[in-house]
């Protein structure tokens, strides 16, 4: 986080650069100080401190300080450790776990709460209006799409997941204004998903995409939930990317559930739980 801010410092306005220099000189102090003290030490106004936070990609001072505190105190370096052919079982275990934990911490510090909020409210509105909610993914991302459909289905939302390219194109052709489709892709370059995205947009549906920043799919969707990690797109069996996508789905489903409210959800979830009891051994 600090390296990225240091790199973009020259592109900021002079007043915002002073805030950035104060941050880089004492990150832990910056995370603790109130906005008035930060403004005084930087010789700028309080709104300039907030503008600095937004200029470097965060939603505001509170969001910036929360992620800054996590970045400077966690102590887990974001280093992707490749598994080697001569690694012992213990080495493999440590590397796989460390890669996953580091990716999750990186996402926590860099995720856009504004984008997640927009995506959650879009899904809630589609559910409230009785519109269609669909999840698209192919290959490994198709498994994540199925998991997403399962989570939102449990919330009483009429949803469906497709992992076949032909079905995605046909379904996207039947979407309309108010409908919502969430597309999941590791690379953001899968032709079938790009075609389905273009068709859904053409017919007026809202498209949410979970994919890497800078990919064609990221630019094609209405709402982009960035899923960035060091794992190569050409990896045959992606691990970190799949877990990161599942994490984002979990966050999104939780936000949607909270906005629907326990008054509506609790009776249905309790009834579902009671119905499942006959499926289990006592």
Reported as a single tens digit per residue, the pLDDT across 93-148 is 888 888 888 888 888 878 888 999 999 999 999 999 999 999 999 988 999 999 99
Render pLDDT for 165-179 as a digit per residue (tens, 0 to 9).
999 999 999 999 999
What is the distance in angstroms between the CA of the first residue and the CA of the last residue of the chain? 51
Q: What is the pTM of this model?
A: 0.70
Specify the pLDDT at position 76: 47
Residue spans of the domains in the chain: they are 2-73, 77-110, 113-271
The residue-averaged pLDDT of 266-282 equals 77
CATH code, residues 2-73: 1.10.10.10
Task: State the average pLDDT over residues 242-263.
Answer: 91
237-266 mean pLDDT: 87
Q: Is 2.130.10.10 the CATH classification of the domain at 113-271?
A: no
């Amino acid at each position: 986080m600090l390296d990225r801010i240091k790199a973009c410092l020259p592109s900021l306005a002079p007043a915002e650069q002073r805030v950035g220099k104060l941050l880089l000189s004492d990150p832990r102090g910056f995370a603790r100080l109130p906005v008035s003290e930060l403004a005084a030490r930087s010789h700028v106004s309080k709104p300039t401190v907030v503008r600095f936070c937004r200029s470097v990609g965060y939603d505001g001072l509170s969001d910036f300080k929360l992620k800054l505190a996590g970045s400077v105190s966690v102590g887990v370096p974001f280093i992707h450790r490749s598994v080697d052919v001569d690694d012992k079982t213990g080495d493999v275990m440590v590397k796989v776990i460390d890669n996953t934990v580091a990716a999750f911490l990186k996402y926590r510090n860099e995720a856009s709460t504004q984008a997640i909020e927009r995506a959650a409210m879009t899904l809630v509105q589609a559910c409230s209006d009785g519109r269609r909610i669909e999840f698209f993914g192919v290959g490994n991302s198709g498994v994540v799409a199925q998991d997403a459909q399962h989570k939102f289905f449990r919330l009483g939302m009429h949803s469906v997941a497709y992992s076949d390219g032909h079905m995605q194109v046909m379904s996207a052709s039947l979407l309309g204004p108010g409908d919502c489709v969430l597309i999941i892709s590791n690379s953001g370059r899968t032709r079938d998903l790009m075609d389905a995205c273009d068709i859904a947009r053409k017919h007026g549906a809202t498209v949410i995409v979970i994919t890497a920043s800078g990919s064609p799919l990221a630019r094609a969707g209405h709402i982009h939930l960035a899923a960035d990690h060091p794992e190569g797109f050409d990896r045959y069996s992606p691990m970190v990317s799949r877990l990161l996508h599942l994490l984002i789905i979990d966050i999104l489903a939780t936000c949607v559930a909270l906005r629907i409210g326990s008054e509506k959800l609790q009776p249905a979830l309790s009834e579902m739980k009671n119905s499942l009891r006959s499926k289990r051994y006592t």
